[in-house]
Structure 1
Amino acid sequence: MMIINSTNRFFWTKLQKNLILANKYTIFFILCLFLFVSCNKAESFKVQSLKTNSGWGYTISKDDKIIIKQTVIPVISDNKSFKTEKEALSVGNLVLQKLKDDLSPTVTKKDLFLLAIKT
């Protein structure tokens, strides 16, 4: 006569299913945590206007460290500052957007024209 211990088999099967289920939840939790952290990565870039002797300029900082300080209008041959704070900030925001898009932060004459910056 053969006796099968069905209690141990039942326990082992349940344990395996629970471990597999626990692994799925753990993987799901880690994946959600990674997604949350990567999406909530705060961009620490900041554009600020800068008053100069002859007008306005802008600075772009990252983590409170200035990475770009522009006191004159780029691309033009004269060393003139922006006439208004609004002009300086509009060019600064354009440069910031280029940095965020992983593009070269250079400003072209076309950019100045599109932003209606009078040179």
Structure 2
Amino acid sequence: MKIQSIRVNTGWGYIISINNKIIIKQTIIPAISESKSFKSEKEALAVGRLVLDKLNSDNSPTITKNELVLLKIRI
């Protein structure tokens, strides 16, 4: 699996792919009620890495608001 950042109109997001096939395209911050993109590439990749780690551990890729706080994601 591979992660890469993507630039979107309102900020940043990330893509996770396997063998060049996109399995997750996240253009907004998960687990919050607003539809906002990540403010920086660094933040998008931090959450993407967490999702990737969860997938590699055969866990659900769901992100919680608490995890966003722990990663210091600006909401």
Normalising by structure 1, what TM-score?
0.63
Aligned residue in 2 for 1:50: 6
Q: Relative contact order (C-alpha < 8 Å, sep 6+): which is higher?
A: 2
Aligned residue in 1 for 2:28: 72
Task: Kindly name which structure, 1 or 2, has the bigger radius of gyration based on alpha carbons.
Answer: 1
Aligned residue in 1 for 2:62: 106
How many pairs were matched up?
75
Kindly indicate which of the two structures has a greater share of residues assigned to strand. 2
Q: CA deviation at 1:118?
A: 1.2
Kindly indicate which of the two structures has a greater share of residues assigned to helix. 1
Which consecutive aligned stretches of 4+ in structure 1 deviate over 6 angstroms post-superposition? none
Point out where structure 1 has 5 or more consecutive residues left out of the alignment.
1-44
Point out where structure 2 has 5 or more consecutive residues left out of the alignment.
none
Normalising by structure 2, what TM-score?
0.99
SS in structure 1 opposite 2:3? strand
> How many percent identity over aligned positions?
63
What is the aligned-residue RMSD (CA, Å)? Answer: 0.4
